[in-house]
Amino acid sequence: MQTIRKVIIPVAGWGTRSLPASKNIPKEMLPIYNKPVIQYVVEEAIKSKISDVIFVTNRDKSVIEDHFDYNLQLEGVLERAGKLDKLQTVREVAEMVNIMSVRQKKQLGLGHAVLCARALINNEPFAIMVGDDLMFGGTPGVQQLIDVAMTENMPVIGVMEVPRDKVNRYGIVAGEEISPGVYRITDMVEKPAVADAPSRLAIVGRYVLTPDIFDYLEKVTPGVGGEIQLTDALQAMAKERGMIAVKMSGIRFDAGDWADYLSANIYFGLQDEGLRYDLLDRLKQFVQFQ
């Protein structure tokens, strides 16, 4: 398979799970410790040697693109104040990656969002990263999939085991394990009822796909929730040409889930030596008050 240079990151969703925090701020811009959620996702892409990020946005999300651009006024203020470390921090974000964007003019589902980026992908394999799913530890999340896609020369999707009572929140795959943690997909279903789930292997928002997925997306009809589901197009593609699922390693946080969002803040806060001991003291106080 050709080198993966591009990633599609859909960011046009309403973010209802994060309300009221996300009423006027895109959920992707809510901070986890000192960076917005979306920056962690883009940093994972960069660590996986991806150079071009394609955001699928809507009219209220331009602040996401602005975050990855220069802010000359702010840079001037920091320079004049001699705050050179802060200046470097804000410049680094602007210089991180090439940004492209395309509008999803109607929120018709994740599959539709991916289809909106077709013209920017041309005819090469690419990655998709769902902006709510954050992965840390070990090999960068999407790199784990790229490695398998290269050796198997097949599209690959990332999965993790979830508790049985949570299968109805995810796309669930079934497959034959061909080597430890690597499955040839035999079935895939979006948000099944707990009783109907073919396994506990949940799709966790990381995909490495070939451009023929767009032909399947063109044909797919609305599925769960009346939306054009990426999972439905993947299921059709897996049946015809084969697809691999890889059990991903590392810690995952779902930024749209408050327990995960708050845990992610603590996880990163604890990694900052200057904050760690104060933070632990405060947490101990809270536990004693319970």
Summarize as ranges the residues that interact with ligand G1P (CB under 6 A): 110, 130, 132-133, 170-171, 190, 202-205, 229-231
Nearer to ligand G1P, 131 or 269 (CB): 131
Nearer to ligand G1P, 132 or 152 (CB): 132
Closest contact distance (angstroms) between CB of 54 and ligand G1P is 17
Q: What residue spans of 220-257 are helical by DSSP H?
A: 230-241
Nearer to ligand G1P, 30 or 230 (CB): 230
Residue 289 is which amino acid? F
Closest contact distance (angstroms) between CB of 81 and ligand G1P is 41
Nearer to ligand G1P, 87 or 233 (CB): 233
Closest contact distance (angstroms) between CB of 237 and ligand G1P is 14
Peptide bond preceding 140 in cis form (omega within 30 of 0): no
Burial degree of 137 (CB within 10 A; 0-12, 13-18, 19+)? exposed
Closest contact distance (angstroms) between CB of 17 and ligand G1P is 9
Q: Is the dihedral of CA 95, 97, 103, 107 positive or negative?
A: negative
